[in-house]
Amino acid sequence: MMKKIWLICIAIFIATITIVTQSEQVNADKQPHYVITTDASFPPFDFQDQNNQYVGIDLDILKEIAKREGFTYTLKAMSFNSATQLVAGSQADGVIAGMSITDERKEVFDFSTPYYKTGVVWATKKGSNIKSLSELKGQTVALKTGTAGADYAKKIQSQYGFKVKYFNDSNIMYNDVVSGNSVATFEDAPVIQYAIKNGLKLKIMNADKLFDAGWSGFAVKKGENKALLTAFNQGLKSIQKDGTYDKIVKSYLGKSQEHFTGKTSDNNSVLGLLKTNRKAFIDGLIETIKLTVLAIILASIWGIFLGILGISETKWLRGVSTTVIYIFRGLPLMVLAFFIYIGLPTVIGTKVPAFLAGIITLVLNEGAYTAAFVRGGFEAVEKGQMEAARSLGLPYGKAMRKVIVPQGLRIMVPSFINQFIITLKDTSILSAIGLLELTQTGTLIVARNSQGFRVWAIIAVMYLIVITLLTWLSNWVEKRMKN
Ligand code: GLN
């Protein structure tokens, strides 16, 4: 029985590695291929349309330029802050995300020719009685991490005496104002106008006098990817010359660049949302399940191994186990994910694919928890069992395998089930590194249609369904183990 389980585990492990490496295989095409990051919750510049295609002013421009200049690319959607950090850390080749060209950023990035003039506005909740910036004194203002809007607010913060709070996603930031937790926000004008058009209950306070935020540009890491930057600039020139650029901008913003007039409305009933976003929900669900299943299997193997080390007769092996458990149980999952995905590649010099980084993160973290209860479970097997086995002449290894492990595993079953459920929920944190699992799927849909309540309710129900199935499966396995 144990042998069979090990064989199955090894087979799954090999299958995993194959899937991961295959899905990251580089385009065999002759054309140069780039990885380009974007902030896909930034309509009308970067977002997913109802067919879950990446669209928007930026992404349509990029698509057209790539076609004309003969390169291909993979788009990676994540928060603006992570999107820029990935390029700064050489994990991706370029970033297009309504990114303002600032002197500070020029220290780290090389920018394309500016392609869109933007401005920052401040907005309050519709019906709020705040009329001027000076009334923000002592109040909290919601900002988006690492953006020009946030920089502007920070610049005037001491003058007006407000407090600030940071978000990674424009939509969550807006809703903090709508719900009354913060009283105002700062954001690029076309983006907040788009959301208001979609029914967001905010009011722009300086519509006729935007704060200057300069121009947006496409960026690569300073000194790197010169060919890509040149191609972008050439392509941009060409689409500006023949009117394609204007056509794209107009299709999203209508005649005046300051007001969004494009069509935005989805069918926003729950059924309508399910129907229009069916593919996105299913894809997100599959990604979540893939991450969960792989992480559960690998973390269990790793955790059992580490747990067994923890009860070894050799002192230093126990020390290794304790230290590894201590480190990875102590680190917040998101810190670990950022460290592996964004931090590590700058040191080791190779890219770590997001999916792999996500799996490693989960295995290290969940594996440490597993190891802790595995160690505890074995320790809970009555001491006399080992003594009896040894006195019957069984060597330590065999006594462990035949006597202690089977009994210990039975004690641990409820802890395993618990850990499986936690693993499933923890996959949502990996949305931070751009994995398009259920949570990130929800973020992208809400970014487009501002239907936070309904979309998050749908996502919540989907998680509950999977958790229920997982619990049933675990209970079934538990029953079989008892027999
Ligand atoms: N234009 C802003 C900036 O560059 C915001 C970009 C974004 O949030 N995607 O900082």
152 lines ligand 1 (CB under 6 A): no
The Cβ of residue 223 has, within 10 Å, a number of other Cβ atoms equal to 8
329: Cβ–Cβ under 8 A, 6 or more apart, which residues? 365, 368, 369, 372
Alpha carbon distance 169, 450 (integer Å): 12
Cα 255 to ligand 1 centroid, rounded to whole Å? 23
Cα 343 to ligand 1 centroid, rounded to whole Å? 22
Q: Which atom of ligand 1 is nearest to the CA of 151?
A: 10
- Angle (nearest 5°) at CA 177 between 174 and 178: 85
Peptide bond into 32 cis (omega under 30): no
* pLDDT score for 322: 96
Q: Which of 151, 196, 39, 41 is nearest to 164 (CA)?
A: 151
- Angle (nearest 5°) at CA 177 between 173 and 181: 100
* pLDDT score for 258: 42
Q: State the DSSP code for 137.
A: T
* pLDDT score for 260: 40
Which of 109, 116, 144, 152 to mutate for ligand 1's pocket (most ligand atoms within 8 Å of CB)? 144
Q: Which of 403, 243, 377 is nearest to 304 (CA)?
A: 377
Tokens of residue 446, six digits: 């809400």
Q: Which atom of ligand 1 is nearest to the CA of 150?
A: 10
Alpha carbon distance 198, 57 (integer Å): 17
The pairing of beta strand 47-48 with beta strand 116-125: unpaired
Alpha carbon distance 432, 9 (integer Å): 29
Cα 276 to ligand 1 centroid, rounded to whole Å? 28
100 lines ligand 1 (CB under 6 A): yes
Q: How far lies 66's CA from each of 50, 231, 235, 368, in Å?
A: 23, 8, 7, 45
* pLDDT score for 27: 46
Pick the residue whose CA is nearest to atom 5 on ligand 1. Answer: 147
Angle between helices 354-380 and 405-426 in degrees, nearest 10? 150
Answer whether 141's CB lies under 8 Å from 169's CB. no
Answer whether 142's CB lies under 8 Å from 185's CB. yes
The Cβ of residue 158 has, within 10 Å, a number of other Cβ atoms equal to 8
Alpha carbon distance 398, 389 (integer Å): 9
Alpha carbon distance 177, 128 (integer Å): 10
Q: Which of 15, 321, 42, 27 is nearest to 174 (CA)?
A: 42
The Cβ of residue 4 has, within 10 Å, a number of other Cβ atoms equal to 8
363 lines ligand 1 (CB under 6 A): no
- H or E element: which one contains 94? strand 94-95
Q: Tokens 């009860």 sit at which residue?
A: 311
Residue type for position 396? Y
Q: Tokens 């004309």 sit at which residue?
A: 68
SS3 call for 215: strand
Tokens of residue 392, six digits: 């019957």
Q: Which atom of ligand 1 is nearest to the CA of 100?
A: 4
* pLDDT score for 386: 87
Q: How far lies 450's CA from each of 202, 278, 385, 453, in Å?
A: 12, 17, 61, 9
Residue type for position 442? G
* Ranges of the chain whose pLDDT falls below 50: 24, 26-27, 256-264
47: Cβ–Cβ under 8 A, 6 or more apart, which residues? 40, 41, 54, 55, 56, 444, 447, 448
* pLDDT score for 442: 92
93 lines ligand 1 (CB under 6 A): no
User: Which domains are seen in the chain, by residue range?
Assistant: 32-115+217-261 (3.40.190.10), 118-213 (3.40.190.10), 276-482 (1.10.3720.10)
Q: Which atom of ligand 1 is nearest to the CA of 146?
A: 10
Give a three-class secondary structure readout of 78-106. CCHHHHHHHHHCCCCCEECCCCECCHHHH
